[in-house]
Amino acid sequence: MRSANLWVLRRVARFLMQVIKAELRFVKIACYRVELEWKDRRKMIKKMFIYMSLPLTMLAQTAQLQDNTDQPLLTVKQIMSAIITPPTSTIWGAYQLQSDAQWQEVENAALTVIAAGNLLAMGGAGEGEQKTATEADWQTFNRQMISAARQVITAVQLRDEAALSNAGNDALYPPCESCHQVYQTR
């Protein structure tokens, strides 16, 4: 009688264990499904985020492409080598000018120096170059360079080669030197 009871108990226990195992498996599968769903959802959210931020990044990029013309766009170095150097070699190299076209070339060169001076008054796009341009020395040398270029234009209008040579050597060259002495090595 006792052993029969035990046998029944054992059968019941085994049956219960099987039921619990089956339930557990079911729960595990359910959990796995939820996890998968979350992974998918996270992926979706990521994608949505990327698509939503796309127009914003494009906007930021076009904003960067649009140059802000209130600010200097060239460094001082670029202004020197691209805008100042070519016309000054025209002015300093002017010799035995004959045709109006030759004189006109010198006048255009002087106008280019004035344009560069106009830019230099603002300073350059390089680090700290706008702040440097607020210094009195900088503005003085720059104004001297501009007024020297005006003297060159006057000499051109008079077709006076001696006056042109004086303007080039005695007026235009010194401010270049003075400004470089103070600022070029900084």
Stretch that binds ligand HEC, among 49-57, 61-69, 135-143, 161-169 (CB under 6 A): 135-143
Q: How far apart are CA 128 and CA 183, in angstroms?
A: 12
Are 167 and 155 within 8 A, CB to CB?
yes
Q: Which amino acid is at 119?
A: L
Taking residues 70 to 99 in sequence order and writing x for each that binds ligand HEC by CB under 6 A, - otherwise, the string is ------xx--xx--xx--x-----------
Please pick, from the candidates 103, 142, 152, 153, the single residue that binds ligand HEC as defined by CB under 6 A.
Answer: 142
Separation CA 155–CA 167 (nearest Å): 8
Q: How far is the CB of 180 from ligand HEC (least distance, A)?
A: 5
Amino acid identity for residue 144 in this structure: Q
Which of 141, 153, 164, 167 binds ligand HEC (CB under 6 A)? It is 141
Residue 145 interacts with ligand HEC (CB under 6 A): yes or no: yes
Q: Is 151 in the site for ligand HEC (CB under 6 A)?
A: no
Q: How far is CA 7 from CA 4, 11, 148, in A?
A: 5, 6, 119
Rounded Cα gap, residues 153 and 163, in angstroms: 10
Residues that bind ligand HEC (CB under 6 A): 76-77, 80-81, 84-85, 88, 120, 138, 141-142, 145, 172, 175-176, 179-180, 183-184
